[in-house]
Amino acid sequence: MSRWLFFVGFLAFSCVKYGQDGLEAFDDGNYKEAIKLFNNALVSSPDNEAYHYNLARSYEELEMFEEAMLEYVWVATYSPNPSKALLGRGRCYWGLEDYESAIMDFTNVLRVSPDNFEATYLRGRANIKIWDYFAALEDLETAALLNPDHELVYYYRGVARGQIGFLYGAVSDFNRVLNSDPEMVHALYNRGICFQRMRRFDQAITDFTGVLDLDNGKLESMWRRGYCFLQQRNVSSACKDFKLAVSKGYEPSLPLHQSVCN
């Protein structure tokens, strides 16, 4: 009997140690080791919710989304509070580009925890992915109230506002983002599009030039800058951009290059 008790105690101690070591490996970014350790912990404690959840997080960090989802489903099935597992599975659906399923999971989280920032923010971004910009804007407006210091909320809200046609609001959001990070290429580019649609061509040209200064491979910015030059009747500068974009393989520049510059 004493040997049996010692053996059980040893297994319990090993299980806890594997779990603790797994957390340390996770915190150190050593996710492969964390997976190994959490799996070892589950051998002697197969119903431990924390080990299943931490194993799922480790898989997710390695973008092993299908493996992670299996663990999140286990947690969601047996946990009295499945919200964090549904949130994790939603992130995995996002990683697999199944945005509709991700939205369903984020929505289920919000039914239980309506003030969950991450679920609100990610559902807003997922709605952008499926072109439901009004739903995205509603979520991102809420996310900005829940966490007003999260700068990316304003970037994605700007995207949703711009797609809806609320251009002044979009520019305001992009201005905020660029005040914090002047080299955020996507914010510069999207603000440039807003200025272009507002026929504020000087400002659009400045933004598209800024994009190209940061990344001269952004050929759509070159084409758009050329279009803005053309609207200002600066044919020489427009044709220079169209010609360069065409030479770099950006085919949408070809029709204007042929019709205006030849």
pLDDT at 172: 98
Query: What does the buried/exposed string (b/e) look like for 163-181 if buried means 16 or more CB atoms within 10 Å of the residue's CB?
Result: beebbebbbbbbebbbeee
Cβ atoms < 10 Å from Cβ of 151 = 16
pTM: 0.87
DSSP codes joined into one string, 220-261? HHHHHHHHHHHHTT-HHHHHHHHHHHHHTT-GGGHHHHHHHH
The pLDDT assigned to 10 comes to 36
pLDDT score of 256: 82
Q: Please give, one letter per residue, the 3-state secondary structure of 128-191.
A: HHCCCHHHHHHHHHHHHHHCCCCHHHHHHHHHHHHHHCCHHHHHHHHHHHHHHCCCCHHHHHHH
Amino acid sitting at position 33: E
How many CB atoms lie under 10 A from the CB of residue 183?
A: 11
The stretches in the chain having pLDDT less than 70 are 1-16
Q: What is the pLDDT of residue 14?
A: 55
Can you give the pLDDT at residue 2? 41
pLDDT in tens, 124-146: 999 999 999 999 999 999 999 99
pLDDT at 3: 42
pLDDT at residue number 9: 39
pLDDT of residue 7: 34
